[in-house]
Structure 1
Amino acid sequence: MSDEFFMKLALDEAWKYQLLTYPNPAVGCAIVDKNGKLLALGAHKCAGKAHAELGAVTLALCELKPELKSELLRLENSPNELYDFILKNHKGALNGACAFVSLEPCTHFGKTPPCALLLRDLGFCRVVFGSADLGGQAKGGAKLLANAGVSVAQSTLKSKCDELLEPFLAWQSGHFAFFKLALSLNGVYTGKISSQIAQKHCHDLRSKLDLLVIGGNTVRSDRPILDARFSTTKHAPDVLIYSRKSEFERQIPLFSVLNRKVDIKNDLELLKKAKFAMIEGAGRLFKALENEFSWVLIYQSKSFKKGSFLDISKSLEIMHSTPLGADTALWCKVREN
């Protein structure tokens, strides 16, 4: 199999956790043994948890050294302890292996140990990465590995890896916003659209946000709660209701969520200041705020529905499609018409 094949697998794994890693980047890793056999796929799933390389190494060792599996899985939510356990107990199981990582392995000690050192000390003979790490303390993984005699190459899928990294780079600059839609296969946006799995994914995203933006007309007509009850943390984001009219019934559920701030404004200053924001709505809000976002996340069901159709004229490029049970998450980038 080619380098591109294995890097594509790493990218597919990373996209499952896109934006859920906030404020960290989404990263994927594929590990292949010295004979070219795929051993494991890993991804960074959440800030403070194992980086993609450590996660993939853990899964690979579960297969290669089953006697370690129970302890490896017990430590998977404690990356520092997991890292130390692996270095003490791997016994050369990954000598000669190759890692395909969407982002250059890091070199710094942060909440988790450096991945470049892990790959070096486990005896990897080759590392292929996609995006170069341009950040301060984290950069330099490729140089460290090369100096240790590891063969290092940058993937021909660099542009795809760079695309995966865009939200992280925007967060570092202070602001990233995207628009979320739920659509039936024939373009209907009204009524119940998404499956439970897609709803949970959306709630997981909400739990990471600094701000959720919604239009006043939608609040009045749909009377939403806009919480994150299906997520693990259940942390509901603050809400900006973008509306010319400031009067709303306080019995609308979104106003009763604990530990949340709800602002009603006819300007977008709060949106522009938010480090990570999601805009939820349909055609009218999309058109009104189209200069405020460059990414669109579409939860698309596989069913036809009766209802109102989306009335938008806009070119989108699908960067990735991620299966979510019966639905698909379409990660799109706005293109000029």
Structure 2
Amino acid sequence: MNDDFYMNLAINEAWKYQILTYPNPAVGCVILDKNGKILSIEAHKQAGKAHAEVNAVKKALQVLNPNLIFPKEDDKIYEFIIKHHNNLLKNSKAYVTLEPCSHYGKTPPCANLLKEIGISEVVIGYEDKSDLAKGGANLLKEANINVKFGILKDRCFELLEPFLMWQRGNFSFLKLGMSINGVVSGGIITNLDSRKMVHKLREKIDLLVIGGNTVRVDRPTLDTRLINNGKNPDIFIYSKKQNFDKSIPLFGVENRKVTISNDIKLIKNYKLCMFEGGENLLNNLPNFVSHILIFSSTSFMNRKAINADVKIQKLFSFDMKDNFYIWYKIKS
């Protein structure tokens, strides 16, 4: 197996948590033992929680020593590893989609962790150019650790791009639920696991955007009830008409701001926005919406399929029992 193979594993693992790590980037990490055996494939899963490297090192140590009892609190795992790694990972190798951080923030620096466990080589997909976090590779090199850059750099950039966009001001994407033959309307299409994932995304975003006609016809709630009532997103209803029936459930959700406007540019004042809708929205997306996330059932439905003219590039797909989802980038 070559470097591309292992980096690809790290990239695919990280894509599973795209958006869920907001405002942090999605990052993946693979650890090999000194003989080249895969010990762990892990990712950063939530802002404020352990980074990908910490999760991967933890898993690798558990494989090598199942008797290690790690603390349950994420903020204690780093120091536990420093004290109890017992050189089990000496001369091991790490693949990381993004340069390991070198600063103390909500979590300690991952570059230092890799140095302390005696790792011999770190293969990095994409260089961290941020003023705060860059410098991890230099820290590793100063400890005589071999560092290699640029493995699957383009794929690592695709993974990182949503983070870079919301850091610059705005990342907006469209979410669609679709049958295998392209039906996007007429009731529930995807399974419970897919709908739970959508609710997880809703909990993370700054703003949920929906068309006025969809609100009037579907009378949605657009909340996060499927994940034990997480934070409900603020709503932007894109509509020329300002009058809506306020008994529509979305208006009754507590601690929510609902904006009704035909000025689509207002959305760019928010860092992370998810559009929800169907054929009409897909065919009239503003040019700053750069990605599409499609949740698809594996069932055919006897209803009219979507009719659209949008060029897209597939980035990542993931199976969810009898459903799957695919991230696409819209091509200009």
**Same-fold call, TM cutoff 0.5:** yes
Identity percentage over the alignment? 50
Q: State the 1:83 CA deviation.
A: 0.6
Contact 1:129 1:154 in 2 (8 A): yes
Contact 2:179 2:299 in 1 (8 A): yes
Give 1:122's aligned residue. Answer: 117
Q: Distance in 2 between matches of 1:280 and 1:188?
A: 15
Q: Distance in 1 between matches of 2:63 and 2:327?
A: 32
Q: Distance in 2 between matches of 1:84 and 1:244?
A: 56
Aligned amino acid, residue 209 of structure 1: I
Give 2:90's aligned residue. Answer: 95
Q: Distance in 1 between matches of 2:246 and 2:197?
A: 28
Q: Distance in 2 between matches of 1:308 and 1:243?
A: 25
Give 2:295's aligned residue. Answer: 299
Identify the match of residue 225 of structure 1 among 221, 246, 250: 221
- Greater shift after overlay, 321-330 or 259-268? 321-330
Q: Distance in 2 between matches of 1:155 and 1:269?
A: 36
Q: Distance in 1 between matches of 2:298 and 2:150?
A: 34
- Greater shift after overlay, 322-331 or 168-177? 322-331
Structure 1 segments unaligned to the other structure (5+ residues): none
Give 1:156's aligned residue. Answer: 151
Contact 1:105 1:115 in 2 (8 A): yes
- Greater shift after overlay, 228-237 or 3-12? 228-237
Q: State the 1:251 CA deviation.
A: 1.1
Q: Distance in 2 between matches of 1:22 and 1:204?
A: 11
- Normalising by the residue count of structure 1, what TM-score does the alignment of the two structures yield? 0.96
Give 1:319's aligned residue. Answer: 315
Identify the match of residue 165 of structure 1 among 160, 165, 183: 160
Q: Which runs of 4+ in 1 moved over 4 A?
A: none
- Normalising by the residue count of structure 2, what TM-score does the alignment of the two structures yield? 0.97
Give 1:287's aligned residue. Answer: 283
Contact 2:21 2:46 in 1 (8 A): yes
Q: Distance in 2 between matches of 1:313 and 1:225?
A: 29
Contact 1:23 1:168 in 2 (8 A): yes
Q: Distance in 2 between matches of 1:231 and 1:138?
A: 32
Contact 1:296 1:332 in 2 (8 A): yes
Aligned amino acid, residue 161 of structure 1: C
Q: State the 1:62 CA deviation.
A: 1.0
Give 1:15's aligned residue. Answer: 15
The Cα offsets for residues 138-193 of structure 1, whole Å up to 9 and x where unpaired, read as 10111111111111101430100011000111111111100111111100011211
Q: Distance in 1 between matches of 2:236 and 2:316?
A: 29
- Taking a change above 3 Å as real, the CA distance of residues 137 and 179 of structure 1, as seen in their structure-2 partners, is same
The Cα offsets for residues 28-50 of structure 1, whole Å up to 9 and x where unpaired, read as 00000010100001100000000
Q: State the 1:96 CA deviation.
A: 0.7
Aligned amino acid, residue 207 of structure 2: L
Identify the match of residue 180 of structure 1 among 168, 175, 180: 175
SS of 2:204's partner is coil
Contact 2:317 2:327 in 1 (8 A): yes
Q: Does 1:78 align with 2:74?
A: yes
- Greater shift after overlay, 210-219 or 231-240? 231-240
Aligned amino acid, residue 279 of structure 2: G
Aligned amino acid, residue 162 of structure 1: F
Q: Distance in 2 between matches of 1:18 and 1:213?
A: 19
Question: How many residues are treated as equivalent by the alignment?
Answer: 331
Aligned amino acid, residue 89 of structure 1: H
Aligned amino acid, residue 261 of structure 1: K
Give 2:3's aligned residue. Answer: 3
Aligned amino acid, residue 294 of structure 1: S
- Taking a change above 3 Å as real, the CA distance of residues 63 and 201 of structure 1, as seen in their structure-2 partners, is same
- Taking a change above 3 Å as real, the CA distance of residues 106 and 233 of structure 1, as seen in their structure-2 partners, is farther
Q: Distance in 1 between matches of 2:212 and 2:163?
A: 30
Q: Distance in 1 between matches of 2:323 and 2:266?
A: 32
| RMSD (Å), alpha carbons | 1.1
Q: State the 1:289 CA deviation.
A: 2.3
Q: Distance in 1 between matches of 2:80 and 2:228?
A: 27
Q: Distance in 2 between matches of 1:244 and 1:329?
A: 32
Aligned amino acid, residue 241 of structure 2: K
Contact 1:120 1:148 in 2 (8 A): yes
Q: Distance in 2 between matches of 1:221 and 1:192?
A: 14
Structure 2 segments unaligned to the other structure (5+ residues): none
Give 1:195's aligned residue. Answer: 191
